[in-house]
Structure 1
C-alpha cells in the first residue's frame, strides 16, 4: 500500500513529539539537582535536543537500523541524581566538580562500549543476556519509568506542599485518551494516539491554566556548547561506576533490539528491512555516549521503551523516524524554536508518555515467557523482581550508609534486578533444580 506524504508527515510529527517528550524533563531535573541557572538549564536543553536527535539518526542509519530512538539513559540519570545529592551536601564547589566527573565517566563508558564492540565481545556477551535476564531488565525498567511519569502527572516539585487536582485530572484524562486510542482506536486514530492526546491535553491545559510567558531570546542562531561543564575528570569510584553502567548499557542495547524485533514481528513488519549488526549497534552507542560527554548532557542510549511506542501507535517505518530525529537536532540551533517546544505542559507530556510505556512491563514478561517458566526460572524471576523493585523504596539514609561505589548500584532498581538475574541465571545451573 502506498504511503502518502501526509501520513509520513503526521507520523514524523508523532515521532517528534515522542522524542521531544522523552528529553524535555531531564534538563530540568538535572538543573534542579545541580542548582543550575535558568540560562544553564536552557543550554542543557538545547544540547539534549541536539544529541538525542543526532544519536537517533546515527543509530538508525549506521547502528541497529531500526526505529529505536535514543534518549537520556535512566541508569545515567540515577548516577547524576546520586552525584547531585552528594554534591549539594558538600557544597557548590563540588557541584561543578561532580559534573566534570560525570563527563569523565561517560567518556570512559563510551570507550568501553567501543572496545567491547570492536573486539567482538558484544556477541560473546549476548549468551549471558538470556530471555530471563532481558525480561527482568525490561519489566523493572517499565515499572521504574512509569513511576517517574506518574509523579510527573501530579506535577510534584521539590518545593510543592500541595497538588492541583485540576492538573491531575487533565493529565489522567490525557493518559486515558492515549491509552484508549492506542488499544481500541482504528486506523489513524491508533497511529497518532500520542500526538492526539498531547495536542488535546495541551489545549485544555492552556485554556484552564494558561501558558508560561514565551522566553525572550536575543540570538537567532546558537551552536551547542562543547564541554559546558568544564574539562572532564575521573576518579576511582567513577571508574567503577563507568564499568557498571557500561554493562547496563550493553544490556539496554541488546534488550532494545530484541524488544523492537518482537514488536515488529507481531505487527508483521516488512521482511525486507535491513537491520544492523550487534557490533555496529555497540559501536554507534559508544560514539553516542562519548558525544554525550563532549556536549555535557545525560548519556544517551537506545530507548527500550520505544518498542512500547511502536506497539501502541504502529509507527514502525523508518522515514518518519528519520525526519523527526533530524528536526529535533535541527531546532537545537534556534533558541526561539526549542524554547517554544520547551513550553509543552509537563503533566500532559507525562500522561501521554505513561500510556506509551505501560506495555513495557508486559513486553518484559513476554520476553521471559519465551522459555518455559520452570521452578528455577520462576524463583530467579521472583528474587530479581523483588530486589530490583524493593530497592526503589529504600530511604536515602539507607543508601547513603553504603560506600560511594555501592551507592550507584543500590540506588538503582534496574541495576540491582539485572545483576541479581545475571548472577542467579549463570550460577544456578539447570541440573541443580
Structure 2
C-alpha cells in the first residue's frame, strides 16, 4: 500500500515537472525559429529535438551529473543573446543566414572552451569570485527578471502597453488557487499546488475563452526530425565568436550558482566532482545542440523556486517528468495537445513558483550587516540591473551591435557590478562593529544599586 502511494506521489510530481519543463522550453525554439525565418515544419522539428534532448539531459544530470533534482534546458542567457544578435543583423551588415551559421559555430566553440576550463580547474577561480553576496545578487536579479516576464504574460500585456483584464482576473484566481492548495493542502497534497493550479486554470480558461492555443506551435511528423547542421555550414564571424565565449562563461557561472543554492536546499553541498560532471554533461549536450540547430543548455537556477514551492526534492520525480517530456517530443500529437496550455495559465503558476526564489536570494545575505555605507554593495548592482531590465531594447540602438546583447542585459551588468564591488572595495572597513563593554566590578555594581 505504501509503495502504491509512493508511486502516485512520484507520478503526480513528475507531471508537475513535465509542465514546468514544458513551459520553460517551448517558447525557445519557437521564437528563435521565427527570428531566423525558418519554415513552420522546420520549427516543429526543432521543437521536437529540443524536447527530446532537454528531457534526456535532465535524466543524465539527475543520475550521473550533478545528481540534484534540477532542470537543465535551453539557457536563458543564450536565448536572449541569439534573439538580440538576429535583431541586430542588419546593423552589422550581415544576412540572417550568415548570423545563423556563425551562431552554430559560437555554440560549439564556447561549449568546448568551457569544458576545457572546467577540466583545468577554472571552477576554483569562479568559486572564489562567486561569494554568497554575488550569488544573492544573481538570484535577486534572476527573480526580478523572471517575475517581470511571467507577470506580463499572466495579465495579457501586449505591445501596445494594454492589459487584458479578463486574463488578469483569471490569473489572480489561479494564484489564489495555488496559494490555498499550498497553504491548506493536507499531507502531501500541498506539494502539488502548481499542478492543481494548472489543471484548475486550464479548465477555467477553456470555459471562458475556449480551447484555442495561445502558443501557436506548429506540429509535424516524427519522421526526419534529426537534421545535421540545419542552420548551414558553420561560419566564422569574429565578433559573434567573442560574444559567444562570454555567454559561455556567464552560463558556467549560472551552473555554479544553481548547484550552490541546491546544496543548501538539499542540505548536502555539491562536491567539485559534481560541479565538473554537471558542466561536462551540459556542454557536451550543448555541442550536440549546436550541430542540431538548437541553442546551448544550462542548469536552471529557477528550479530552486520550483522546489521550494513544491517541497518534492526527489530525483525520481524529475526523472519521471523528463521521461514524459521525451515522449511528448517523440509523438507530435502529444506536443500539439500540450501546446494547447494557455500561456497566461502557465505564467500565473510560474509567477507563484518563482516567489520562493526571492527568499533563497535573501537568505544568501544572512550574516551580513548593512548600514548606510555597506548597503551599496547590494543596492547598486541590484537597482542598476533592474533599471536596465526596464529600458526598451530600442534604447540601445546606438551602441555597437555586438555589445548590445551584453549592455542591455540587466542580469549580466548587475552581476558584473557586484563582482567588481566585492573585489575592489574593502567593505569590512565600513562595517560598524558592536562596542563591547568591560564587565563591571562588584564595587561598581554596588555603587550603581545605591544610586538608584
TM-score by shorter chain over 0.5: yes
Q: CA deviation digits over 1:388-414, x for unaligned, max 9?
A: 111112233431211133212111111
**Alignment correspondent of 1:17:** 19
TM-score, L = length of structure 2 = 0.86
RMSD (Å), alpha carbons? 2.7
Decide which of 310, 313, 316 is 1:316's aligned counterpart.
Answer: 313
**Alignment correspondent of 1:288:** 285
Structure 1: segments with no counterpart, 5+ residues: 266-270
Decide which of 253, 256, 273 is 2:258's aligned counterpart.
Answer: 256
**Alignment correspondent of 2:434:** none
C-alpha distance 180-80 of structure 1, shift in aligned 2 (>3 A)? farther
Q: Give the length in aligned residue pairs.
A: 426
Shift of 1:323: 1.6
How far apart, in 2, do the equivalents of 1:288 and 1:140 lie?
Answer: 27
**Alignment correspondent of 1:268:** none
How far apart, in 2, do the equivalents of 1:263 and 1:319 lie?
Answer: 17
Cα pair 2:219 2:335 within 8 Å, conserved: no
Decide which of 341, 344, 347 is 1:350's aligned counterpart.
Answer: 347
Cα pair 2:260 2:269 within 8 Å, conserved: no
How far apart, in 1, do the equivalents of 2:59 and 2:46 lie?
Answer: 20
Shift of 1:239: 2.2
Cα pair 1:109 1:246 within 8 Å, conserved: yes
How far apart, in 2, do the equivalents of 1:106 and 1:156 lie?
Answer: 32
SS across alignment from 1:71: strand
Of structures 1 and 2, the one with the larger relative CO (CA 8 A, separation 6+) is 1
Cα pair 1:194 1:352 within 8 Å, conserved: yes
Shift of 1:339: 1.8
SS across alignment from 2:349: helix
Cα pair 1:384 1:417 within 8 Å, conserved: yes
Cα pair 2:41 2:219 within 8 Å, conserved: no
Matched, 1:149 2:150: yes
C-alpha distance 368-243 of structure 1, shift in aligned 2 (>3 A)? farther
Which has more radius of gyration?
2
* 1:222-237 superposed matches below 5 A: 223-237=225-239
Matched, 1:417 2:414: yes
Decide which of 75, 78, 81 is 2:80's aligned counterpart.
Answer: 78
How far apart, in 2, do the equivalents of 1:425 and 1:113 lie?
Answer: 24
**Alignment correspondent of 1:110:** 111
Worse overlay, 279-288 or 396-405: 396-405
Shift of 1:203: 0.9
TM-score, L = length of structure 1 = 0.90
C-alpha distance 249-218 of structure 1, shift in aligned 2 (>3 A)? closer
**Alignment correspondent of 2:129:** 128
SS across alignment from 2:26: helix
SS across alignment from 2:298: strand
C-alpha distance 219-47 of structure 1, shift in aligned 2 (>3 A)? closer
Matched, 1:242 2:219: no
Shift of 1:229: 1.8
